[in-house]
Amino acid sequence: MHKRVLKRIDITKNILSKEAHKVIEINSRGESLLSRVCSLIYIGDFVSLYLAILNGIDPTPVKRIDYLKAELARE
Residues 2-49: tens digit of each pLDDT: 999 999 999 999 999 999 989 998 999 999 999 999 999 999 999 999
- On the question of pLDDT at 63 being above 80, the answer is yes
Single pTM value for the model: 0.62
What was the pLDDT predicted at 71?
Answer: 94
- The long-range contacts involving 9-18, CB below 8 angstroms and separated by at least 24 positions, are none
How long, in residues, is the chain?
Answer: 75
